[in-house]
């Protein structure tokens, strides 16, 4: 049989049906455990087995589906009744949480953080900005950091004895955005004895969310890209500027 150019991403197991496929024109036919894919004049038959988290991730990829829109609406109503920082017993998105380092074991906790949406108004009394006209703006200013980074900061300040590992988006409405932050108790023996996570116990990782060292922090610092277009972002924008604008003369020259 010839190899097909398209890739089938998702297939429910026995008793299910095909949910999603990508590529050009083709027809999908499921027979038992086998998937038959026809793509113009080429076809292939194969056996596919996919874990449960793949199905969950596909649901979250289709946020505008009827099921997800209804579910998110109900959840958002529930979130509004709770405080801005609240601990949850289980991650709302277990697939996403595990991809970001979460484990269902002692020492890992998840908190839901609510952050108000919108821009940042300049905190000046009566809207008076003393200085040049170019700096007179009060409204329509944008905060340099993302809402997810703000959520991590608030979680880290509220829970000073825990270390922020990562975070992810879960919901939003017209007023708030909701994130879940994964935190780790570095004083717990289950964490200190785990070689996959005990790097976080090093004191150098205290309040890494306040220093732009988490994934969200590195993103707003411009450290996601690579190559010649991103040279001026490393080690940081200010450090790069300072290095290029400082005249260093040796004492004996």
- Each domain of the chain, given as residue ranges in start order, spans 10-50, 84-237
Q: What is the CATH number of domain 84-237?
A: 3.40.1120.10
Cβ pair 188, 197 in contact under 8 A: no
Could you write out the DSSP letters of every residue in 111-138?
EEEEEE-S------GGG---S-GGG---
Cβ pair 170, 95 in contact under 8 A: no
Place of tokens 């959840």: 75
Place of tokens 């004996």: 252
Could you write out the DSSP letters of every residue in 193-223?
T-TTTGGGGSGGGTTGGGTT-SHHHHHHTT-
41-82 pLDDT per residue, tens: 554 545 567 889 999 999 999 999 999 999 999 999 999 999
206-231 pLDDT per residue, tens: 999 999 999 999 999 999 999 999 99
Sign of the four-CA dihedral 74, 75, 78, 84: negative
Q: Note the pTM of the prediction, 2 decimals.
A: 0.78
């Amino acid at each position: 049989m010839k190899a097909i150019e398209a890739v089938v991403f998702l297939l429910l197991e026995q008793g299910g049906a095909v949910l999603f496929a990508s590529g050009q024109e083709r027809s999908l036919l499921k027979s038992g455990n086998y998937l038959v894919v026809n793509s113009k004049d080429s076809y292939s038959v194969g056996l596919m087995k996919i874990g449960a988290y793949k199905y969950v991730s596909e649901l979250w990829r289709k946020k505008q589906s009827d099921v997800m829109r209804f579910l998110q609406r109900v959840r958002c109503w529930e979130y509004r009744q709770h405080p801005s920082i609240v601990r949850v017993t289980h991650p709302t998105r277990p697939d996403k949480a595990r991809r970001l380092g979460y484990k269902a074991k002692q020492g890992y906790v998840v908190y839901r953080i609510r952050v108000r949406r919108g821009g940042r108004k300049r905190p000046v009394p009566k809207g008076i900005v003393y200085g040049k006209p170019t700096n007179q703006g009060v409204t329509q200013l944008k905060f340099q950091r993302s809402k997810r980074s703000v959520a991590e900061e608030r979680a880290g300040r509220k829970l000073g004895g825990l270390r922020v590992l990562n975070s992810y988006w879960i919901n939003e409405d017209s007023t708030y955005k909701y994130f879940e932050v994964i935190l780790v108790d570095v004083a717990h023996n289950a964490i200190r004895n785990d070689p996959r996570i005990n790097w976080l116990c090093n004191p150098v990782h205290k309040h890494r969310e306040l220093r732009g060292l988490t994934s969200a922090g590195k993103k707003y610092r411009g450290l996601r890209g690579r190559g010649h277009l991103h040279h001026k972002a490393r080690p940081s924008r200010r450090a790069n500027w300072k290095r290029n604008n400082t005249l260093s003369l040796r004492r004996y020259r």
